[in-house]
């Protein structure tokens, strides 16, 4: 009988993340392989493959069935890409641990150019992310952005076939999957501010499950948890739909939390920016106030 059941989506990245969590729990608590079972759960987001997620309802589509399994006690914990988590968790669930954050940057993939700047005038870029689309139009208004979904292999094939000249993926996912060699270049965060919580794996459990919470506390990475708290408070304050291009990134530098947040219009013409600095204890408040500021400033142009 397994002592712990981990719920996860079945994609290669999700399985990698669940196995990473399993290894860390084994190392922290001396569990054997049989003690921890990985339970694959198919979500609505996995079933719908043909439409951009932002059209269907976006965030939450990858979490609903998994959270139902937590409530039903079919699993003890659930492993998520924090970037895909809605700003607020359902009542009764909690994010009990964050794993050490991977590279937060976006990766640029292109057979014809080394960087965004080097793309030929009018080049076609494949991306379904409203954030990346808006950021790109802001720096290169000449580029044409087309919808692009699918896994890494599908996207690389589309690049090969000339459907688009470039695409973007989170560096974290590529690195975790051992596909870092597919990256043409990494986009600096001051060129493209990453999505809130990009590169972060979070582990969710029931708030009243003290046993699992204690096991997870041992593998929590505090600096990553603080940064994500700040970024997600920004997201929650803006209450953005997934049609709202938002970006936010916090780092802890010498004990100081430094946060940058952006909200853009879809066409990239307007970008409302905010920065905050403060102590880790204030991380969530800083993110929230940054979000409130951007909402007040950009509210007439951006539909949050
Ligand atoms: N929205 C899809 C998604 N959710 C998490 C990752 C992997 C990277 C991460 O954990 O931030 C990706 C792929 C991507 O945006 O390229």
Instruction: Decide: helix, strand or coil at residue 245.
Output: coil
Average pLDDT over the chain, rounded to whole? 94
Atom of ligand 1 nearest to the CA of 106: 16
- Take atom 8 of ligand 1 and give the residue whose Cα is closest: 173
The model's confidence at residue 152, banded by pLDDT at 50, 70 and 90, is confident
By most ligand atoms within 8 Å of CB, the mutation choice from 8, 80, 130, 172 for ligand 1 is 172
Question: What is the CA(1)–ligand 1 centre distance, in A?
Answer: 33
- The predicted pLDDT at position 303 comes to 79
Q: Is the dihedral of CA 287, 293, 298, 300 positive or negative?
A: positive
Question: What is the CA(86)–ligand 1 centre distance, in A?
Answer: 14
- Take atom 5 of ligand 1 and give the residue whose Cα is closest: 81
Question: What is the CA(161)–ligand 1 centre distance, in A?
Answer: 24
- The predicted pLDDT at position 151 comes to 81
The model's confidence at residue 242, banded by pLDDT at 50, 70 and 90, is low
The model's confidence at residue 299, banded by pLDDT at 50, 70 and 90, is confident
Question: What is the CA(199)–ligand 1 centre distance, in A?
Answer: 7
Which CATH entry fits the domain spanning 222-304: 3.30.160.40, 3.40.50.300, 3.30.420.40, 3.40.1350.10?
3.30.160.40
Select from 60, 54, 89, 82 the least CA-distant residue to 303.
54
**Which residues' Cβ are closer than 6 Å to ligand 1?**
13, 81, 83-84, 169-170, 172-173, 198-199
pLDDT digits (tens, 9 = 90+) for 14-62: 999 999 999 999 999 999 999 999 999 998 888 876 666 666 666 678 8
Q: In terms of C-beta distances under 8 Å and separation of at least 24 residues, what long-range contacts does 267-271 make, across chains too?
A: 267/134, 267/137, 268/133, 268/134, 268/135, 268/136, 268/137, 268/138, 268/139, 268/141, 269/137, 269/138, 270/298, 270/301, 270/302, 271/134, 271/138
Q: What is the mean pLDDT of residues 166-174?
A: 96
The pLDDT > 70 percentage for the chain reads 95
Question: What is the CA(171)–ligand 1 centre distance, in A?
Answer: 8
- CATH code for residues 1-99+200-220: 3.40.190.10
Q: What is the mean pLDDT of residues 282-304?
A: 93
Round to whole Å and give the CA distance between 259 and 115.
25
Round to whole Å and give the CA distance between 206 and 43.
19
pLDDT digits (tens, 9 = 90+) for 201-241: 999 999 999 999 999 999 999 999 999 999 999 999 997 66
Atom of ligand 1 nearest to the CA of 82: 10
pLDDT digits (tens, 9 = 90+) for 100-117: 999 999 999 999 999 999
0.90 surpassed by pTM: yes
- The predicted pLDDT at position 56 comes to 63
Atom of ligand 1 nearest to the CA of 104: 11
The model's confidence at residue 302, banded by pLDDT at 50, 70 and 90, is confident
Question: What is the CA(263)–ligand 1 centre distance, in A?
Answer: 19
Burial category of 172 from C-beta neighbours within 10 Å (exposed 0-12, middle 13-18, buried 19 and up): buried
CA 84 to centroid of chain Cα atoms:
5
Name the segment(s) of the chain with CATH classification 3.30.160.40.
Answer: 222-304
Name the segment(s) of the chain with CATH classification 3.40.190.10.
Answer: 1-99+200-220, 106-187
Phi-psi label, residue 239: left if phi above 0, alpha if psi -120 to 50, beta otherwise: left
The model's confidence at residue 300, banded by pLDDT at 50, 70 and 90, is confident
- The predicted pLDDT at position 57 comes to 62
Q: What is the mean pLDDT of residues 138-148?
A: 95
By most ligand atoms within 8 Å of CB, the mutation choice from 13, 168, 173, 189 for ligand 1 is 173
Tokens 């399994």 correspond to 69
- The predicted pLDDT at position 73 comes to 97
- The predicted pLDDT at position 241 comes to 66
What residues are annotated to the active site?
Answer: 84
Atom of ligand 1 nearest to the CA of 13: 7
- Take atom 13 of ligand 1 and give the residue whose Cα is closest: 170
Phi-psi label, residue 166: left if phi above 0, alpha if psi -120 to 50, beta otherwise: beta
Tokens 């590279």 correspond to 103
CB 216 within 8 A of CB 210: no
The model's confidence at residue 259, banded by pLDDT at 50, 70 and 90, is very high
Q: Is the pLDDT of residue 243 over 90?
A: no
Q: Domain 106-187 class?
A: alpha beta
pLDDT digits (tens, 9 = 90+) for 260-275: 999 999 999 999 999 9
Q: Is the pLDDT of residue 66 over 90?
A: yes
The model's confidence at residue 150, banded by pLDDT at 50, 70 and 90, is confident
Round to whole Å and give the CA distance between 227 and 219.
16
Round to whole Å and give the CA distance between 276 and 94.
26
CA 303 to centroid of chain Cα atoms:
21
- Take atom 1 of ligand 1 and give the residue whose Cα is closest: 84
């Amino acid at each position: 009988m397994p002592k712990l059941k981990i719920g996860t989506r079945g994609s290669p990245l999700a399985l990698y993340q669940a196995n990473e969590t399993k290894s860390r729990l084994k190392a922290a608590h001396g569990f054997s392989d049989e003690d921890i079972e990985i339970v694959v759960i198919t979500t609505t987001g996995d079933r719908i493959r043909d439409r951009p997620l932002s059209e269907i309802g976006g965030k939450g589509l990858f979490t609903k069935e998994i959270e139902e399994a937590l409530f039903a006690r079919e699993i003890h914990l659930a492993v998520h890409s924090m970037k895909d988590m809605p700003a607020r968790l359902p009542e009764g669930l909690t994010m009990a641990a964050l794993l050490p954050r991977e590279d937060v940057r976006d990766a640029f993939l292109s057979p014809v150019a080394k960087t965004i700047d080097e793309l030929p005038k009018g080049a076609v870029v494949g991306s379904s992310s409203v954030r990346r689309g808006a950021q790109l139009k802001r720096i290169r208004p000449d580029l044409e952005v087309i919808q692009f979904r699918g896994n890494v292999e599908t996207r690389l094939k589309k690049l090969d076939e000339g459907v688009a000249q470039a695409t973007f993926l989170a560096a974290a996912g590529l690195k975790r999957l051992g596909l870092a060699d597919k990256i043409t270049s990494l986009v600096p965060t001051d060129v493209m501010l990453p999505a809130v919580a990009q590169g972060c794996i979070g582990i969710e459990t029931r708030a009243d499950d003290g046993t699992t919470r204690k096991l997870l506390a041992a593998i929590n990475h505090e600096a990553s948890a603080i940064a994500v708290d700040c970024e997600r408070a920004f997201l929650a304050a803006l209450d953005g739909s997934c049609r709202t291009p938002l970006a936010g990134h916090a780092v802890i530098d010498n004990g100081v939390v430094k946060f940058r947040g952006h909200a853009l219009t879809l066409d990239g013409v307007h970008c409302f920016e905010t920065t905050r600095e403060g102590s880790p204890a204030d991380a969530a408040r800083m993110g929230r106030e940054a979000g409130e500021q951007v909402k007040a400033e950009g509210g007439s142009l951006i539909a949050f």
